[in-house]
Amino acid sequence: MHHKFCLIDASTESNEVVPLLLNGSLNWTKQATHGNYENVTVTSQRELVEGYMKEFERLWVLFKPIV
């Protein structure tokens, strides 16, 4: 797996906060932002944010560390 997505304020219930989804190939390094051809999409579209939030929760449970 090589998922790259970031959820910002996605679990908030506040109407004053806009949840965001960042998704793409971008590595968060200086080389990636200044020397590579990377892509990133930023959206606040509720359906997309919720879909990725569900996927995050699924992965969180699936790969929970064995204690």
- Using pLDDT thresholds of 50, 70 and 90, give the confidence band for residue 3: confident
pLDDT value of residue 50: 94
- Using pLDDT thresholds of 50, 70 and 90, give the confidence band for residue 10: confident
pLDDT value of residue 1: 58
pLDDT tens for each residue of 45-59:
999 999 999 999 999
Indicate the pTM of the whole model: 0.79
Active site residues: 2, 4, 9
The answer to whether the CB of 63 falls within 8 A of the CB of 14 is no
- Write phi, then psi, for 61 (nearest 5 degrees): -75, -45
